[in-house]
Structure 1
Amino acid sequence: MAHRMRRDRGFTLTELLVTLAIAGILAMIGAPAMGGLIARTTNATIEASIAGTLRHARTAAIMRNARVLVCPSLDGRRCQSADDWQHGWIIAQAADRDGQSDAGKQVIATQAAVPKGTRVLTSAGRKRVTFQPSGSAGGSNVTFTICHASDRAGRSVVVSNTGRVRVEGADAAHLQACLAGLP
């Protein structure tokens, strides 16, 4: 009766180390690309949030037959006088001619701060957007530029005088101004 040698099935230590080394190299190659993907996803989420906020405010102005504003806010109750929106913003029914909400009584919706490393900046001189009861947004067009420290390509949300909201790639001038405020 002949005994056959049975071959063990498994991995040797050398095979395991080679496999781990290859996996480590692939992870190092893929990690920077993953950071860019996360930055682009963050920008897209903020872009959608801003566009949704502006559309919500326009609809509220029409439905309430009142002036409704969107402005940056530190406390979620009052507008701040800055064109840097990374701390969050509010939608509020304008209580008086200066465009301030009435100490939180007319706040319709709030948005929390954007993630660290991300910046939202509006066109020079446009610290808020006010929608009229007709749905129009007085003044010049306003551009919201969204940029991230890990992704040098930004996005823009533009509101026209008629109140139309559109999304597009950021132009070089707006993107440069946005990136200048990032570390």
Structure 2
Amino acid sequence: MPSTPLRRALAPGFTLLELLVTLAVLGILAAVALPAQSKVIARNQVTAAANDLFVAMQYARQESVRRNGPVQVCGSVGGLDCDGGHWQQWIVRSSAGEILRRGHIPPAVSVQTVGLFASGIQFRADGRFHQAGSRLQDGTLTVCSERAQRRQALEALGGVQLRLPPSTVGECR
């Protein structure tokens, strides 16, 4: 029986000092890794937002042809009406005002519009797009994040082609 206390003394385990050193090393590693992880998240948010907008545009184009009537994609503040130029939320709606889809842009991501996208893009029954009350056929919708210095642009060219070129590195304007 005297060997029992000796076995407990030699039992494997951690001392308080070893535990504190391990926690300090983990804390340093986390402090180094978190900023890099936050940039990856910001880049992914930009890419996801641009892809969602592109899919919404393609959906609106298909619906305009299927319904044989205009379908609009526009920025919205409340998610119910088009509010020219505010793209933190977006909606796809029919000419009768029926909301077909809606989505939002993450708060860390900003959206800037030029040309056609300024007040929303409308697809006609033939699948071509135009700005309501205008013959303007070109535009760019830029999705970017200052945290990630990442830009993704959705381009409308000549009423015929929507394209989503590869992301570029750069500051938000």
TM range (shorter): 0.7 to 0.9
CA contact (8 A) 2:116 2:138 kept: no
Match in the other structure for 1:55: 58
Q: Distance in 2 between matches of 1:52 and 1:156?
A: 14
SS of 2:122's equivalent in the other structure is strand
Q: Distance in 2 between matches of 1:53 and 1:31?
A: 33
SS of 1:122's equivalent in the other structure is strand
Q: When you count strand as a share of all residues, which structure comes out higher?
A: 2
CA contact (8 A) 2:50 2:154 kept: yes
> How far apart are residue 171 of structure 1 and its match?
5.8
User: One-letter code of the match for 2:87?
Assistant: W
SS of 1:151's equivalent in the other structure is coil
| TM-score, reference length from structure 2 | 0.80
Match in the other structure for 2:149: 152
Unaligned runs of 5+ in 2: 131-135
SS of 1:147's equivalent in the other structure is strand
Pairs aligned (count): 163
> Percent identity, aligned pairs only?
27
Post-superposition CA distance 1:122-146 (Å, at most 9, x none)? 2246321111211112333322211
Query: Structure 1 pair 108/19, CA: closer, same or farther in 2 (3 Å)?
Result: same
The equivalences for 1:1-183 within 5 A come to 6=7, 7-82=10-85, 84-86=86-88, 88-94=89-95, 105-111=97-103, 113-124=104-115, 126-127=117-118, 128-138=120-130, 139-169=136-166, 176=171, 179-180=172-173
Query: Structure 1 pair 156/36, CA: closer, same or farther in 2 (3 Å)?
Result: same
CA contact (8 A) 1:137 1:160 kept: no
User: One-letter code of the match for 2:83?
Assistant: Q
Unaligned runs of 5+ in 1: 95-101
